[in-house]
Chain A
Amino acid sequence: MPDQNPFQDPLRFERRLPPCAVVIFGANGDLAKRKLMPALYRMAYDRRLAPGFAIVGTSRTPLTDDQFRDRMKDAVRDFSEDTKLDEDLWKTFAAGLHYVSGDIGDAALYQRIGQKLGELDRDHQTGGNALFYLSTQPSQYAHAAQGIGAAGLQHGSGFRRLVVEKPFGHDLASARELSDRLHDVFAESDVYRIDHYLGILAFRFGNGIFEPLWNRRYINHVEITAAESIGVEGRGAYYQEAGALADMIQNHLLQVMATIAMEPSASFRSGSVRDEKSKLLRSMKPMTPDEIRVNSVAGQYGPSRIGGEDAAGFRQEPGVAPAATTDTYAAVTLFVENWRWAGVPFYVRTGKRLPKRVTEIGIHFNSAPLAMFDGELADGAPNLLIVRIQPEEGISLKFLSKQPGAGMKLRPVSMDFNYGSSFGERSPSAYETLLLDALLGDATLYTRQDMVEASWAVVEPIQNVWREMRFNFPNYAAGTWGPAEADAMLARRGHTWRKP
């Protein structure tokens, strides 16, 4: 038989997943329960998992396989947003769930994991493939990788890959150091650093009509917003160390920006796309401390009432120091120094306890060069392209249209495209997409080491300036769109934030 599966029908079958054992470190934690397990169960529900598929959960808590299965069943029931728990399917899925307890720093844990992988390969026919998923505290990434290396688990008869959650390091030096320690065990091509999927690639590069407009000549400014309505939700201790700038802008939002602004890549192959993203990140204009002071805003939410209920301020959250100076909101004006984007401001903001959960990109086009029509909207409503990432992935284009009737009155209209309704099926969650890609060995949507370092090169100088500044925190009330200084930052260039 040839290597290629003769039963494949690429026109009709979904992407093929190889047999594999997924080893989840921190399997008893919040991320595993809320995101990973529901995503893996959904993949089983969608018939995407290969027959030889198994999951090995590991954490410090001593649990039997059955106890682990029960906990994961509860997690799937509680946190699967749009997938019902089918008892028969669960039985098959649960048969592949196993648990190994132990401390990440204990070499014996890795021996036991190795033993379990051997058993699974024999009993479940996992093909010797293993994906190690680090869903632990970031400070434990290096320990886990070294434990894997010391036990020789990075080598096997199949592929061996490592998935690392964000944030990757807390500054440029720590990101480099972490990369070095991971590279002691895994090759860069086997390290998958989490970023989130973006349909923008298909939109930008699958349609020829936008490319001629995608530059400083036609685009006035770009807004990137990642707003969360919730607070730190029990992650106060961790969040206190990270902050919005490092937790969101350094990784996720700069990747979003890179995707929006990168040059077209020669192909959709992983190396090619990531080369272009990396180039874009390296083209970001470095700012002097004075420039940083006027082009960045830090914020922290204070107590408020939302929907008739009291909402705690950040400093009142469990695990947060009463005088914490952590930024729960960050807004930055960035510029790209290349021929395509010179002079175009990219406004990037993120925050917790904002009015709603939304991630979107607003591309503001220049106004028509000549105001031919009278009236208040004649030149005051330039075209706007909105790319929504969540909660409903889609695209909207706002333009002016003549109102019916006599006279020439204009009004803005919006043309909407929504993935969910237009394709009649749910969009897979970000974690489903990422797990699928990691299992398939497609790293296009994952962040490469040079991209991480380029992002830190942008963010670290801002962190350094902020450390020396004194902020009057809290400076925005929970449930509002952030501090007034963020509005002022845009107003200086005659712009205003959208209210998504």
Chain B
Amino acid sequence: MAVAPPEKILKELADLWVNTGKQQEGEAAHGVLRACTMTLMVVTEDSEDPAGLGETIAALMPEHPARTIVIRLTGAGERSISQRVFAQCWMPFGQRRQICCEQVEIVCSDASLGDVPSIVLPLEVPDLPVVLWCRSPRLLEAPEFPALAAVARRIVVDSGAMSNASAALNRLAEETKRGRLLGDLAWTRLTRWRQALSQIFEDPRHAGRLAGSARITIGDGAVTTRAIYMAAWMAGALESAGVKAEARIASHAQHAFAELESGDFRARLERQDGHLAATVDGLSQCVLLTKPDDYLLMREELGILGRDPVFEKTLASAARFAYATE
């Protein structure tokens, strides 16, 4: 297959709008509204179900309309690269008019991955941020990663999909030291948990009961990046309030939980059949806790285009914590 010249893709993108507009002409005279707030690059394995990813991207578009560039990696093999261009449209205003976003799909072998940055660069939407969503964990280790990452303002990975939690956290910490803005879906999965814990401390009387030291226990099925993040975040927050905390991970827990003990104060969060129970001094409150899918996670991440100071601080201490407990 031939290498796709960026000009050809840009021409196809322009034609796409003309054709979409023409289709609309026949049906209604309202035309097509084009919406774009960013360029979203998604790197994924070709073996991944394209329909599932397509649905996730389509669901994201109403809130984060973007020119999406999906790069599908076919694996080892000869140099090969191909592309196609299409539109994602939806009809939000009582069927009056479609809103459409562009999607470019590039399918390439590992050997051609080095050609991708030069194709992608001219396809960025001017003046708008570029977000790189690495769904394929091996991209992080590919020699072409720095060139692709350099195009993006922010990179979103999922350390939960990486095999070794400690190595994953260290790798990500390295990237942030290089100045890259990172997001990690393993961290995003903790937002509801973290918020539930934070709610407890909205009552200053609870905060006032914390002694000089505290014990944190995180329960998960294994030593995951998620569990390490939770422990590191809790310890970091307590430390900033002058409480020295000791954290440990119970790696064979039946239900995920997070527990904080300090003096006579005890708070516990625990997953219970689709709910998250927050218990303080025996008084329990239950909130809904649906399993966040890729759409919900990315929706949150795409809402953050600048620095994420709490995550960055936690990542640094999580990497140290993982190293120390190894």
A and B associate: yes
Within 8 A of A (CB), among B88-131: 90, 92-93, 96-97, 99
Residue A370, interface by CB 8 Å = no
Contact between B300 and A47 (Cβ–Cβ < 8 Å)?
Answer: no
Residue B197, interface by CB 8 Å = yes
B197's partner among A7, A411, A416 (CB-CB below 8 A) is: A7
Residue B169, interface by CB 8 Å = no
A52's partner among B198, B203, B240, B286 (CB-CB below 8 A) is: B203
A residues near B, CB below 8 A? 1-3, 5-9, 11-14, 16-19, 44-45, 47, 50-52, 86, 88-89, 91-92, 123-125, 127, 411, 413-416, 418, 420-425
Whole-angstrom CA separation of A301 from B152 in the bound complex: 60
Within 8 A of A (CB), among B277-316: 278, 280, 283-288, 299-300, 304, 308-310
Q: 7 extra interchain contacts, Cβ-Cβ under 8 A, other than A7-B197, A51-B280?
A: A2-B242, A44-B287, A123-B283, A127-B203, A414-B30, A422-B92, A425-B63
Contact between B241 and A9 (Cβ–Cβ < 8 Å)?
Answer: no
The A interface is mostly helix, strand or loop, or mixed, namely loop
Whole-angstrom CA separation of A241 from B219 in the bound complex: 62
Contact between A420 and B286 (Cβ–Cβ < 8 Å)?
Answer: no
List 23 A–B pairs whose Cβ atoms lie within 8 Å, in order of A's numbering.
A1-B243, A2-B242, A7-B201, A8-B198, A9-B191, A9-B198, A12-B194, A14-B195, A18-B202, A19-B202, A44-B287, A51-B199, A51-B203, A51-B278, A89-B288, A125-B203, A125-B283, A416-B96, A422-B35, A422-B62, A422-B65, A424-B63, A424-B299
Given known pairs A51-B199, A127-B203, the reply for A9 and B310 (CB within 8 Å) is: yes
Contact between A1 and B287 (Cβ–Cβ < 8 Å)?
Answer: no
- Among B45-53, B134-142, B173-181, B204-212, which stretch is in contact with chain A? B204-212
Whole-angstrom CA separation of A3 from B207 in the bound complex: 8
Closest residue of chain B to A124, judged by CB?
B283
Encoded as 1 (CB less than 8 Å from any A CB) or 0, chain B from 2 to 43 comes to 000000000000000000000000000111010100000000
Contact between B288 and A6 (Cβ–Cβ < 8 Å)?
Answer: no
Contact between A51 and B208 (Cβ–Cβ < 8 Å)?
Answer: no
Closest residue of chain B to A19, judged by CB?
B203
Whole-angstrom CA separation of A420 from B62 in the bound complex: 9
Contact between B194 and A9 (Cβ–Cβ < 8 Å)?
Answer: yes
Contact between B207 and A89 (Cβ–Cβ < 8 Å)?
Answer: no
Contact between A47 and B208 (Cβ–Cβ < 8 Å)?
Answer: no
Closest residue of chain A to B195, judged by CB?
A13
Whole-angstrom CA separation of A415 from B97 in the bound complex: 10
Q: B304 contacts which chain A residues (CB < 8 A)?
A: 11-12
Contact between B202 and A6 (Cβ–Cβ < 8 Å)?
Answer: no
CB distance from A402 to the nearest CB of B (A): 12
The B interface is mostly helix, strand or loop, or mixed, namely mixed
B201's partner among A6, A86, A89 (CB-CB below 8 A) is: A6
Given known pairs A47-B192, A421-B92, the reply for A7 and B210 (CB within 8 Å) is: no
B93's partner among A16, A18, A47, A418 (CB-CB below 8 A) is: A418
Contact between A1 and B210 (Cβ–Cβ < 8 Å)?
Answer: yes
Whole-angstrom CA separation of A490 from B309 in the bound complex: 55
Encoded as 1 (CB less than 8 Å from any A CB) or 0, chain B from 81 to 93 comes to 0000000001011
Contact between A12 and B191 (Cβ–Cβ < 8 Å)?
Answer: yes
Given known pairs A5-B207, A7-B198, A127-B203, the reply for A51 and B285 (CB within 8 Å) is: yes
Q: A422 contacts which chain B residues (CB < 8 A)?
A: 35, 62-63, 65, 92
Whole-angstrom CA separation of A17 from B287 in the bound complex: 15
Residue B200, interface by CB 8 Å = yes
CB distance from B268 to the nearest CB of A (A): 12
Q: B97 contacts which chain A residues (CB < 8 A)?
A: 416
Q: A91 contacts which chain B residues (CB < 8 A)?
A: 286
State which size class the interface on B falls in. Answer: 35 or more
Given known pairs A421-B62, A422-B62, the reply for A50 and B286 (CB within 8 Å) is: no
Within 8 A of A (CB), among B38-77: 59-60, 62-63, 65
Whole-angstrom CA separation of A416 from B93 in the bound complex: 8
> 5 tightest CB-CB pairs across the interface, nearest first?
A421-B92, A424-B63, A7-B198, A1-B207, A6-B241
Residue B252, interface by CB 8 Å = no
Contact between A51 and B283 (Cβ–Cβ < 8 Å)?
Answer: yes
Contact between B199 and A50 (Cβ–Cβ < 8 Å)?
Answer: yes
Whole-angstrom CA separation of A50 from B274 in the bound complex: 19
Of A1, A91, A125, A416, chain B has the most CB atoms within 10 Å of the CB of A1
Contact between B201 and A5 (Cβ–Cβ < 8 Å)?
Answer: yes
CB distance from A169 to the nearest CB of B (A): 36
Contact between B283 and A420 (Cβ–Cβ < 8 Å)?
Answer: no
Residue B196, interface by CB 8 Å = yes
Given known pairs A2-B241, A7-B194, A413-B31, the reply for A92 and B201 (CB within 8 Å) is: no
Q: B201 contacts which chain A residues (CB < 8 A)?
A: 5-7
Closest residue of chain B to A14, judged by CB?
B195
Residue B238, interface by CB 8 Å = yes
Whole-angstrom CA separation of A490 from B59 in the bound complex: 45
CB distance from B208 to the nearest CB of A (A): 6
CB distance from B98 to the nearest CB of A (A): 11
Whole-angstrom CA separation of A50 from B62 in the bound complex: 31
Residue B171, interface by CB 8 Å = no
Residue B237, interface by CB 8 Å = yes
Residue B255, interface by CB 8 Å = no
Whole-angstrom CA separation of A89 from B299 in the bound complex: 25
Closest residue of chain A to B299, judged by CB?
A424
Whole-angstrom CA separation of A92 from B289 in the bound complex: 14
Given known pairs A7-B198, A422-B62, the reply for A1 and B205 (CB within 8 Å) is: no
Q: B243 contacts which chain A residues (CB < 8 A)?
A: 1
Whole-angstrom CA separation of A16 from B201 in the bound complex: 10
Closest residue of chain B to A9, judged by CB?
B310
Whole-angstrom CA separation of A423 from B60 in the bound complex: 9
Contact between A3 and B204 (Cβ–Cβ < 8 Å)?
Answer: yes
Q: B300 contacts which chain A residues (CB < 8 A)?
A: 12
Q: A127 contacts which chain B residues (CB < 8 A)?
A: 203-205
Q: B278 contacts which chain A residues (CB < 8 A)?
A: 51
Whole-angstrom CA separation of A422 from B31 in the bound complex: 18
CB distance from B92 to the nearest CB of A (A): 3
Whole-angstrom CA separation of A241 from B59 in the bound complex: 49
Q: B93 contacts which chain A residues (CB < 8 A)?
A: 416, 418, 421
CB distance from B108 to the nearest CB of A (A): 31
Whole-angstrom CA separation of A52 from B206 in the bound complex: 11
Q: A17 contacts which chain B residues (CB < 8 A)?
A: 199, 202
Whole-angstrom CA separation of A16 from B203 in the bound complex: 11
Given known pairs A86-B288, A421-B62, A422-B63, the reply for A415 and B207 (CB within 8 Å) is: no
Q: B191 contacts which chain A residues (CB < 8 A)?
A: 9, 12-13
Contact between A11 and B310 (Cβ–Cβ < 8 Å)?
Answer: yes
Given known pairs A51-B199, A88-B286, the reply for A1 and B242 (CB within 8 Å) is: yes
Q: B96 contacts which chain A residues (CB < 8 A)?
A: 416
CB distance from B68 to the nearest CB of A (A): 15
Whole-angstrom CA separation of A64 from B33 in the bound complex: 55
